[in-house]
Structure 1
Amino acid sequence: MSLQPYRALFANRAVSLLVIAQWFARLGDQFVAIALLWAALELTRSAAATGLVLMAYTGGVIAAGFFAASLLDRYPRKPLMLADNAVRALCIGAAASLGLAHLLNVWVLAALACIAAMSSTITIVGMRVYLPTMVPEELIVTAFAVDSSLYQLAGIAGPALAGIVTARFGWAVAMSVGAACFLAFVLIGAFIPAGAIDRGIPPESRELSLSEELAGARYIAGNPLLRGLTVLVAMGNFFFGIAIVGLAFLSKDAFGGDARGQGFMLAALALGTLTASIPLGTGRWPYPRGISLITVSIILGVLVAALGYAPNLTLACLVLFVIGVVDAGFFIWMSELRQRTPPPELLARTISASMILNTVATPFSSAIAGLAVGALHIRPTFVLAGLALALYSSLFVRNKPLREAS
């Protein structure tokens, strides 16, 4: 395995600074995700109400997605990303301060979380769209692997540390750490050379209209490959999202643990993804991307169902490590197909629309997870979510444009 592609990628100072800054932002996301769940549980004492709070958090990302793409198409991206992370630091810092003062209620928590999530779309979309445009064509797959790997590095350190901090010091302290991570993005990102993120696809003035903002969604609807890919990923994320939210309840109800168990399981998932992402980023996958995506999605469903039978935390972490290994390929191949298909002038709007459509059902998976745990208990919830994911994914074997995509 040659590391030369990675050396070439990180020789670019702007890329290095953006990747490091984004690692801190994603680390902050991990702290917020765990702290938010346990804060909602403490304030409401209800799994269903907690699911609704998480729904508000994930729903904020979807609500602002088209707006983020519009801003990124028109204005310099570095100031937008810095402002995004400053807003997140303020919102999450405010929630932490109110929590430490015992003045926070669930409505204020949900509102602050939703605002922070809406702001986050600028950096989320900007990173996915413009990091690959900052490098030569031969390094695009490596850029996707780095994007996945840095997410998983944050996913290894973040959940484990956040779980320990939340269990020992409380969710408000964990949120304070999250706010500090967003502030770190601002401090590091300030050193990115001016205009570096804009060089691949420069911002341009264009008429502000609903038709323009929906151009990416229309392109997806009219492209058989992206249409099939989006339908597969959207519902796949719904079923997989139930399992991710369910990890907290698996730790608490099945294993008799706390936030630490949830953090260790998320870290195992991220470690598996990182383990596979690095070698996948050094070369070309020899098989068609489409059928590989479908096969991997079916396998993920089977593994999620198996997680419902895990007798203890150790075996659950092992299953999640394997899930992470399998999921790494899914993310890289999906991103590659999505990046290479649309024309440059529609790239930001298409990827933004794709990210919104891919996650449009995710807020509901948070709410459904809370309701399902209350009605069915946690283990049957995992089994049903996993089987549904496997069966749903198998339907796409008959989708020719997606199946034959290379």
Structure 2
Amino acid sequence: MSRIGLIDLRPLGSSAAFTRFWLGSSLSAVGAQITMVAVLFQVWEMTHSPFWTGAIGLAQAVPMILCGLWGGTLADQMDRRTLVLWTTVGQITAVLGLAGQALADLDNLPLLLGLVAVSAACSALGAPARRTFPTRLLPRDQVAAGIALQLLSFQLAMLVGPALGGIVIAEWGLTVCYLVDVVAVCAGLFGVLGLPPLPPLGNVSGQPRGVRAIADGLRLIARRPVLHGSCVTDLIATLLAMPISLFPMINEIRFGGDPRTLGYFLSAVAVGGVLASVFSGLTTRARRLGAVQLGAASVWGVALAGFGLAGPLWLALACLAVAGAADTVSVTSRGATIQLATPDTHLGRVSSVEHVIGAGGPNLGNFRGGLVAGVTSAPFALVSGGLLCVVGVLTVAATNPRLRRFTLTDLEPEPAGLSATRD
């Protein structure tokens, strides 16, 4: 398998705890996609307004950003397994609430969006701790492979979950759809229960609290070129070249607005991501993870510029598939780089920043694309954004040699002045 670059399955053989967690989180990811479709369908049926379907994203994004940063401080101050257990219980409670309001046919939009926000907040509180699990459960040389397996689960959930959700809604209704997610999140809870205690390493009592703790994590990122270079690369890629908000306009002006074509756009990105995950051994076994990350982010920009110029449908879909594959490679290599270059004392807070960038960057990038397209055109927004992304990533590569040369064996010395210590 290593010779042809297929996905590295070593983590599933070396850690039973990681395997149980991965299986549970995979099922939970499918459930989350099912609920996403159910919420979209229910809000549309209530309002028939694109404004309110867009408000679902706002209801998720705000608690993700705020609670994600707070979750990072908690992950560095308490047992991470315990934190994920309680936040998963909170998610189960929120989804049960969604099932209850659907069963009672309350038709209450503020309640529905409030429950969505609670679920997002619980997920965000536990997300930084979850991101540290591969680092704590796997050997150093398998961390990238563990992250790749998690990403494969997410990509497959994106393919399977929405279709399954639509079938369940059509056959049995919204209540059953939400209850399916309850079962899926319970599977995720079972996976977390199988983990050993995962207290943070180092002197927890000596660490700052609250806002000071968040600032301490940001200070570490600013002082380590590998960390701030990785974060800036992600911001450049998502802020400048996010294409999804432009799909409907491109579909209208080039392909007659056929809804099937719009679905093909989304599927092409997911197919590219799944293929990259299947062959992620090429990434996880790569020695220079920093160079892989920078190269993949550049390919992402080039592919989306190509999508903006593509005339035939097959070429447009091919460009999107390449973009999806490049995004998966970039996320895998960046996640491994950040996890391996961060001391455990700060791993929760740094992971929370990575989570916030991953949650907020695409939403802001889609907003930017829509603004540029409104003033100019969708093709111009795509091409200019893709090219600016390439220029930005190449600038990072030229000015950040530590990121460019980062390998699995690299671990930067602790910066002076940090308040925490590392064993």
TM-score range, shorter chain: 0.7 to 0.9
Distance (Å, rounded) in 1 between the aligned partners of 2:147 and 2:261: 34
Aligned to 2:420: none
Matches within 5 A, 1:158-197: 158-165=161-168, 174-190=177-193, 192-195=194-197, 197=198
Q: 1:269 to 1:220 in 2, by over 3 A?
A: same
Give the alignment of 1:56-67 within 5 angstroms: 56-67=59-70
Structure 2 counterpart of 1:85, from 83, 88, 107 = 88
Residue number in structure 2 paired with 1:304: 304
Shift of 1:276: 2.9
Match of residue 421 from structure 2 = none
- Tell me the CA shift for residue 57 of structure 1: 0.8
What does 1:128-147 correspond to in 2, within 5 Å?
A: 128-147=131-150
Equivalent AA in structure 2 for residue 284 of structure 1: A
Residues 369, 166 of structure 1: CA spacing in aligned structure 2 closer, same or farther, 3 A cutoff?
Answer: farther
Note the 1:46-61 alignment, pairs <5 A: 46-61=49-64
Q: Deviations over 1:352-401 (max 9, x none)?
A: 22332454434434555677788888777655654553444344343233
Normalization by structure 2: what TM-score?
0.78
Contact preservation (8 Å) 2:127, 2:352 = no
Aligned CA distance change for structure 1 residues 98 and 74 (closer, same or farther; 3 Å):
same
SS at match of 2:83: helix
Aligned Cα RMSD in Å?
3.8
1:186-219 Cα distance to aligned partner (Å, 9 max, x none): 23433x0542x44x84794455342223211111
CA contact (8 A) 1:270 1:324 kept: yes
State how far apart, in whole Å, the 1-side matches of 2:21 and 2:55 are. Answer: 33
Deviations 1:257-278 (A, max 9, x none): 4996677446424423322324
Q: What is the rounded CA distance, in whole Å, between the counterparts of 1:148 and 1:265 in structure 2?
A: 17
Could you tell me whether the CA contact under 8 Å between 2:33 and 2:165 is conserved in 1? yes
Q: Aligned letter for 2:398?
A: R
Aligned 8 A contact 2:32 2:181 in 1: yes
Larger radius of gyration: 2
Q: CA separation in 1, counterparts of 2:258 and 2:274?
A: 21
Question: Secondary structure of 1:129's match?
Answer: helix
Structure 2 residue 107 is matched with structure 1 residue 104? yes
Residue in 1 aligned with 2:332?
A: 332
For residues 329 and 62 of structure 1, do their structure 2 counterparts lie closer, same or farther at Cα, with a shift above 3 Å needed?
same
Name the structure 2 match of 1:353: 353
Per-residue deviation, 1:256? 2.1
Letter aligned with residue 276 of structure 1: F
Question: Residue in 1 aligned with 2:393?
Answer: 393
Matched, 1:295 2:295: yes
Partner in structure 2 of residue 114 of structure 1: 117
Q: Which residue of 1 aligns with 2:34?
A: 31
Provide the C-alpha distance between the structure 2 equivalents of 1:6 and 1:76, rounded to a whole number of angstroms: 27
Which AA in structure 1 matches 2:233? L
TM-score, normalised relative to structure 1: 0.81
Residues 35 and 166 in structure 1, CA contact (< 8 A), matched pair in contact too:
yes
Provide the secondary structure at the position in 1 that maps to 2:243. Answer: helix
Deviations 1:33-92 (A, max 9, x none): 444444444444343443333122123211111221222223233332222222222223
* Gap runs ≥5 in structure 1: none
Residues 385 and 94 of structure 1: is their aligned pair in 2 closer, same or farther, counting only changes over 3 Å? farther
Task: Report the more deviating stretch, 19-28 or 264-273.
Answer: 264-273
CA distance in 1, matches of 2:262, 2:185: 22
What residue number does 2:213 align with?
A: 212
Aligned residue pairs total: 399
SS at match of 1:131: helix
For 1:230, the equivalent position in structure 2 comes to: 231
Per-residue deviation at 1:134?
1.4
Deviation (angstroms), 1:23: 1.0
Pair 1:5–1:379, CA change in 2 (3 A): closer
Segments of structure 2 that go 5 or more residues without pairing to the other structure are 408-423
Q: Which one-letter code corresponds to 2:151 in the other structure?
A: S
Q: 1:169 to 1:395 in 2, by over 3 A?
A: farther
**Alpha-carbon deviation of 1:133?**
1.6
Distance 1:137 1:271, change over 3 A: closer
| 2: CA distance, partners of 1:98 / 1:183 | 20
Q: Secondary structure at the match of 2:331?
A: helix
**Cα distance in 2 for residues equivalent to 1:306 and 1:340:** 34
Instruction: Letter of the 1:108 partner, please give it.
Output: L
- Residues 203-255 of structure 1: per-residue CA shift (max 9 Å, x gap): 94455342223211111122233222212212322345x43455688789833
Q: In the superposition, relative to structure 1, how do residues 308 and 52 fare at CA in structure 2: closer, same or farther (>3 Å)?
A: farther
Pick closer, same or farther for the CA change 1:379–1:330 going to 2, 3 Å: same
- Residue 106 of structure 2 aligns to a residue whose secondary structure is coil
- State the alpha-carbon separation in 1 of the partners of residues 323 and 262 from structure 2: 20
Stretch of structure 1 that moved more, 332-341 or 28-37: 28-37
Separation in structure 1 between the aligned mates of residue 203 and residue 313 of structure 2, nearest angstrom = 48
Q: Aligned to 2:79, which of 57, 76, 80?
A: 76
Q: Percent identity?
A: 22
Q: Which residue number in structure 1 is paired with residue 286 of structure 2?
A: 284
* Among 17, 20, 26, the residue aligned to 2:20: 17
Change (3 A) 1:259 1:107: farther
Q: How far is 1:330 from its partner?
A: 1.0
Q: Deviations over 1:94-125 (max 9, x none)?
A: 23443454423443333222221111124422
Q: 1:296, 1:327 within 8 Å by CA — same for their partners in 2?
A: yes
Give the partner amino acid of 1:329. Answer: V
